[in-house]
């Protein structure tokens, strides 16, 4: 169809990132080649699965396996313990005991390394100590996905190559820049805005709302710059979600995927037109 | 994509329809640049007929707003459809460009 290098970028967005399954379904059905996959945070998980060539059905199954409330082991008790001072926090801490999450991510990703994936993959994390973007492109996929998913305060950071890494969304929630850096000419970027909260009944809720404000504005600011800096085309795909989704609303998975598919299909004629030109 | 130009007083209204992408953006750039070269620096881009704009289209709008402002004028947007506004919001354009619900209010914003 074309000789242009096509990259898909899946941004942060928790369970909403499953919309990427819908995007890939559409691209694959249309025979649009994917030359590079980039992911961040929740998007890293799907980027990794897409790069590994996992089918849409299998991605859906793995979502149901990975995203259950058990991965939040001890969150509530640890939160209380930090508030009464019985649990001390440092740069390696998280409110969650990550043993369940690690076990599941091991099961999902241990068979893969970056080297040997069906498609080239780049995952974005944040160096907690330096505050810098880190692009992971070699070695264990488990390590990279675990690091990229490490929501600060919630999940403990993850050390990779001597760097203490947290969620890539802290620096680059929709890492279009990585695709540009890798020479992508056509970038299909699926991003997610975080929902505003209704009423806030706790300090944690206010903190989370502030975090959402920071993140949404970081996404817009970085996207605005990359959009103008890129010499070719970026197709932003922003699935609509009528209601805020909870972290573990996996019962809404079919709807999330359908929304991703619909948003991708709306852009499809323009993507095809450009690739055929 | 199609463009047409109409002078309303001293304001040049460039009406655009269709999709602005890498293939059609040069045509839009040419239409806008022609107005600027002719000395019409108070511009309105009427986007009511635009169903889509890509990053290439946004770069044309940015180039035009820089050029008109450097000559003492402006480029203002009118009639942006919701889907296009979503892209303009995401890429910061609605923060740096003045935009109005329709061409009449955009033209009026120049204050006759």
What is the value of ipTM here, to two decimals? 0.77
pLDDT tens digit at each of 112 positions of chain B: 999 999 999 999 999 999 998 889 999 999 999 999 999 999 999 999 999 998 889 999 999 999 999 999 999 999 999 989 989 998 889 989 999 999 999 999 998 5
Cβ proximity of A189 and A175 under 8 Å: no
| C-alpha distance from B10 to closest chain A C-alpha (Å) | 30
Which pLDDT belongs to residue A1?
A: 57
Q: How many CB pairs under 8 A join A and B?
A: 52
Where residue A231 falls among pLDDT bands split at 50, 70, 90? confident
Count other C-beta atoms under 10 Å from residue A233's C-beta. Answer: 25
Nearest CA in chain B to A237: B87
A94-106 residue pLDDT tens: 999 999 999 999 9
Q: Quote the longest CA-to-CA distance of chain B.
A: 35
CB-CB neighbours of A163 under 10 Å: 18
CA-closest candidate to residue A124, choices A150, A106, A100: A150
| Closest CB from B54, B83, B92 relative to A224 | B92
More confident residue, B94 or A136: A136
- pLDDT recorded at residue A108: 94
Tell me whether residues B90 and A238 touch, CB distance under 8 A.
yes
Residue of chain B nearest A222, judged by CA positions: B91
Considering only the beta carbons, identify the residue of B52, B62, B89 that sits closest to A270. B52
* Predicted confidence (pLDDT) per residue in A232-275, tens digit: 789 999 898 877 787 778 888 999 999 999 999 999 998 998 89
Give kind and range of the element (H or E) at residue A6. Answer: strand A6-10
Instruction: Read off the pTM.
Output: 0.90
Contact A35/A273 with Cβ under 8 angstroms? Answer: no
Q: Beta A163-167 vs A158-160: how paired, if at all?
A: antiparallel
Closest CA to A149 of A196, A101, A193: A101
Distance separating alpha carbons of residues A141 and B100, to the nearest angstrom: 48
Helices (runs of H) and strands (runs of E) counted in chain B: 5, 5
């Amino acid at each position: 169809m074309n000789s242009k290098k096509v990259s898909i970028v899946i941004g942060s967005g928790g369970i909403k990132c499953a919309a990427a399954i819908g995007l890939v379904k559409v691209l694959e059905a249309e025979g649009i080649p994917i030359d590079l996959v980039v992911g961040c945070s929740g998007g890293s998980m799907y980027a990794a699965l897409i790069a590994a060539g996992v089918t849409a059905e299998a991605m859906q199954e793995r979502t149901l396996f990975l995203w259950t409330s058990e991965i939040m082991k001890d969150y509530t008790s640890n939160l209380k313990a930090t508030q009464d001072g019985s649990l001390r926090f440092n740069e390696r801490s998280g409110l969650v005991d990550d043993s369940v999450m690690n076990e599941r991510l091991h099961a999902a990703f241990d068979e893969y390394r970056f080297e040997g994936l069906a498609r080239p993959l780049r995952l974005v994390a944040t160096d907690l100590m330096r505050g810098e973007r880190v692009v992971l492109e070699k070695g264990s996929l488990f390590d990279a996905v675990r690091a990229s998913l490490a929501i600060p305060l919630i999940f403990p950071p993850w050390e990779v190559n001597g760097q203490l890494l947290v969620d890539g969304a802290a620096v680059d929630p929709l890492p279009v820049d990585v695709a540009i850096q890798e020479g992508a000419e056509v970038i299909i970027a699926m991003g997610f805005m975080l929902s505003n909260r209704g009423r806030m009944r706790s300090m944690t809720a206010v903190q989370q709302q502030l975090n959402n404000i920071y993140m949404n504005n970081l996404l817009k600011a970085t996207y605005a710059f990359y959009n103008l800096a890129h010499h070719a085309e970026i197709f932003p795909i922003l699935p609509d979600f009528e209601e805020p989704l909870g972290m573990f609303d996996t019962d809404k998975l079919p709807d999330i995927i359908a929304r991703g598919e619909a948003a991708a299909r709306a852009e499809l004629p323009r993507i095809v037109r450009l690739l055929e030109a | 994509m199609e463009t047409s130009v109409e002078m309303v007083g001293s304001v040049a209204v460039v009406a655009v329809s269709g999709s602005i992408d890498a293939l059609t953006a040069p045509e839009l750039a040419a239409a806008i640049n022609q107005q600027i070269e002719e000395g019409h620096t108070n511009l309105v881009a009427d986007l009511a007929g635009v169903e889509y704009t890509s990053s290439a289209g946004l770069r044309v709008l940015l180039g035009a707003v820089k050029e008109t402002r450097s000559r003492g004028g402006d480029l203002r947007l009118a009639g942006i459809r919701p889907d296009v506004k979503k892209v303009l919001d995401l890429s910061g354009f609605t923060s740096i460009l003045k935009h109005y619900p329709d061409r009449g209010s955009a033209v009026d914003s120049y204050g006759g």
